[in-house]
């Protein structure tokens, strides 16, 4: 018979990107005394990966725990970016309530709708935190109304609509129950969690059930499995069985058992039903598997996440520079690394491609694919990547494509340019609102219509615009879209680029490389301002003679090249081009390197 564990609360903190989740977790850890008074702690302590710190976003869901008034609060910090929504979906099955953080200025955004919809589908009750209340342009009451309207739209029941609201400033580490009241610390938020978050309803005496939700790795312990004990008690040293997909079982021994205390792992002797814990002792476990008592191997329902929406092809690098910079080059090494990624990330799928040296990788968006590419290149892998494609679905006999909610905030003067561009990409305008000299536009746009748009958007708004997007669902195919309106500048010969050659090319192009860079035939070194490719000799040097010229030599000043990122390169390339990725360089190239073969 299930009973309530009143000494535990399990929550996930969810929000749109940049609404202050991780900063709020920092404040909660400080408020509860998890950090020592003299302990030096980095800002956004939960974002402990290099890529997360560089990009300023959360990529992987992470759990922490702290004590407050004799109750252990176990909290998951989740990503706010739509591309990492799979991390949010699998965590929601482990918690009993969600802390919904909403910016007091921006209000409800596309990812707010996505994560809140998933939480309601799990039957979870939201506790709303209106964050950044200290900003002068705060509109706290209007934001609460927006959250209520969104809950009604998403079909929330009466108990979910009766949500508590706390007004906070995560930066100050303070909260209050009224936006006008004085804020001293985060006690009001912690008290609201104890009062409104339901304790887990569990069977403490039944046979063991533990579900693997997240996988990690430790150099000394090997594979780590993070999950929740759903029933019974999990003990260190116990002999248990893993029930995999299809009912397959495998016996193993729990060699280590850990819990969390702040940012640290602490060893445990046992974990009861309702506890979040980490186990070691098995390398073959997968996300969604159930760890059970050998006498009662009953599997829990497997974790379901939304399917991927885009795909790219990873290929073995075949450029003339292959093998110069990377350590892992072969198809076998590439296949093994992609298989490990799919094992630990349920929202990524890997399948065989057109040949033995090609692999199809499907994910939620360009950013998720770009993070995987960046992670692999830092590990020493060298490979090539094709242009992203959308994944179509057949619904009622008609092709349907993924569409996205797009929220754009721009100065009033640039709203017309954004409207024109997104309308040309089959975008549908939903709302248009003025907020203090800036215009907020909401669109529904096909995912493929947004490929390559971010660069244009920043140019059209002179860097002052903000664009947020998240997948909305599937709609009927919207028809063909205009392709890239410019061509590529392609090298005709290999060698070192020269300032003399680039100087004469740059008048009609935007260059991606500077002088003194090694290039090869078929490499793309710039963007032609007109449609169609332009083949140039970028390694030609000025011929010197012993005849004195009557005129003065030209001063060869080459403009700084445009620096490509993985995201901008994936958006830029066309079907006949590839992105070459090595640990030290990103290069664009034609699939067929020889100009004479390309003409055939």
Calculate mean pLDDT across residues 356-366.
90
Residues in the chain: 600
Burial (CB count within 10 angstroms: exposed 0-12, middle 13-18, buried 19+), residue 162: exposed
**Cβ atoms of residues 119 and 78 within 8 Å:** no
Across all residues in the chain, what is the average pLDDT? 86
pLDDT at 547 over 70: no
Give counts: helices (H), strands (E), the chain.
Answer: 14, 37
- pLDDT of 518 higher than 90: yes
Structural domains present in the chain: 3-201 (3.40.50.300), 209-292 (2.40.30.10), 393-476 (3.30.70.240), 487-563+592-598 (2.40.50.250)
pLDDT surpassing 90 at residue 359: yes
Helix (H, G, I), strand (E, B) or coil at 271: strand
453-502 tens-digit pLDDT:
887 888 888 888 888 888 888 899 988 887 777 889 999 999 999 998 89
For residue 377, name the pLDDT band (cuts at 50, 70, 90).
very high
% pLDDT > 70, the chain:
95
C-alpha separations of 22 from 51, 61, 167 in Å? 15, 11, 16
pLDDT digits (tens, 9 = 90+) for 223-267: 788 889 999 999 998 899 999 888 888 888 888 898 888 777 888
Position of tokens 């073969």?
A: 597
User: Is 567 in a helix, a strand, or coil?
Assistant: helix
Label each residue of 108-168 as H, E or C: CCHHHHHHHHHHHHCCCEEEEEEECCCCCCCCHHHHHHHHHHHHHHCCCCHHHHCCCEEEE
Please report the DSSP string for 238-267 in residue order.
-EEEEE-GGG-EEEEE--EEEEEETTEEEE
């Amino acid at each position: 018979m299930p009973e309530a564990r009143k000494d535990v609360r399990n929550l996930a903190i969810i929000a749109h990107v940049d609404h202050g989740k991780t900063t709020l977790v920092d404040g909660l850890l400080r408020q509860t005394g998890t950090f020592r008074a003299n302990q030096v702690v980095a800002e956004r302590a939960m974002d402990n990966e290099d890529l997360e710190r560089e990009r300023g976003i959360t990529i992987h869901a992470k759990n922490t725990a702290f004590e407050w008034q004799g109750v252990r609060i176990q909290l998951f910090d989740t990503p706010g970016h739509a591309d990492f929504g799979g991390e949010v979906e699998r965590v929601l099955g482990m918690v009993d309530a969600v802390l919904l953080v909403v910016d007091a200025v921006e209000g409800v955004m596309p990812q707010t709708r996505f994560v809140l919809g998933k939480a309601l589908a799990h039957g979870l009750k939201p506790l709303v935190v209106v964050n950044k209340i200290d900003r002068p342009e705060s509109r706290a009451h209007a934001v609460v109304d927006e959250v209520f309207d969104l809950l009604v739209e998403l079909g929330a029941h009466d108990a979910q609509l009766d949500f508590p609201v706390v007004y906070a400033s995560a930066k100050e580490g303070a909260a209050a129950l009224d936006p006008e009241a004085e804020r001293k610390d985060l006690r009001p938020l912690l008290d609201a969690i104890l009062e409104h978050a339901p304790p887990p309803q569990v069977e403490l005496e039944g046979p063991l059930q533990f579900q693997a939700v997240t996988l990690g790795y430790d150099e000394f312990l090997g594979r780590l499995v993070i999950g929740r004990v759903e029933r019974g008690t999990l003990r260190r040293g116990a002999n248990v069985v893993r029930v995999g997909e299809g009912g397959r079982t495998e016996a193993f021994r729990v060699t280590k058992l850990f819990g969390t205390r702040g940012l640290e792992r602490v060893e445990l002797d046992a974990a009861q039903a309702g506890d979040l814990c980490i186990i070691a002792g098995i390398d073959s476990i997968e996300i969604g598997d159930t760890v059970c008592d050998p006498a009662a191997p009953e599997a829990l329902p497997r974790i379901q996440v939304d399917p991927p929406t885009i795909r790219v092809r990873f290929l073995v690098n075949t450029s003339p520079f292959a093998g110069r910079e990377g350590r892992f080059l072969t198809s076998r090494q590439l296949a093994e690394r992609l298989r490990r990624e799919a094992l630990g990330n349920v929202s990524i799928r890997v399948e065989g491609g057109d040949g033995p040296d090609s692999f199809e990788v499907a994910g939620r968006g360009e950013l998720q694919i770009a993070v995987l590419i960046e992670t692999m290149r830092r590990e020493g892998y060298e490979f090539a990547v094709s242009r992203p494609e959308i994944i179509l679905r057949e619904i009622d006999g008609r092709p349907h494509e993924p569409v996205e909610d797009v929220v754009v905030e721009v100065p009033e003067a640039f709203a017309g340019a954004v409207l024109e561009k997104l309308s040309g990409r089959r975008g549908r305008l939903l709302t248009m609102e003025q907020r203090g000299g800036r215009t907020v536009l909401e669109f529904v746009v096909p995912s493929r219509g947004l490929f390559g748009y971010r660069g244009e958007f920043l140019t059209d708004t002179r860097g002052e615009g903000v664009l947020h997007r998240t997948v909305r669902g599937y709609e009927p195919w919207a028809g063909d879209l205009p392709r890239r309106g410019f061509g590529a500048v392609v090298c005709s010969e290999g060698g070192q680029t020269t300032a003399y050659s680039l100087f004469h090319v740059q008048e009609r192009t935007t260059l991606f490389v500077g002088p003194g860079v090694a290039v090869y035939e078929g490499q793309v070194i710039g963007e032609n301002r007109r449609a169609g490719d332009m083949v140039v000799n970028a390694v030609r040097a000025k011929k010197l003679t012993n005849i004195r010229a009557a005129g003065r030599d030209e001063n060869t000043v080459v403009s700084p090249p445009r620096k490509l990122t993985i995201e901008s390169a994936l958006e830029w390339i066309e079907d006949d081009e590839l992105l070459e990725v090595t640990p030290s360089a990103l290069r664009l190239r034609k699939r067929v390197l020889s100009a004479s073969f390309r003409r055939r």
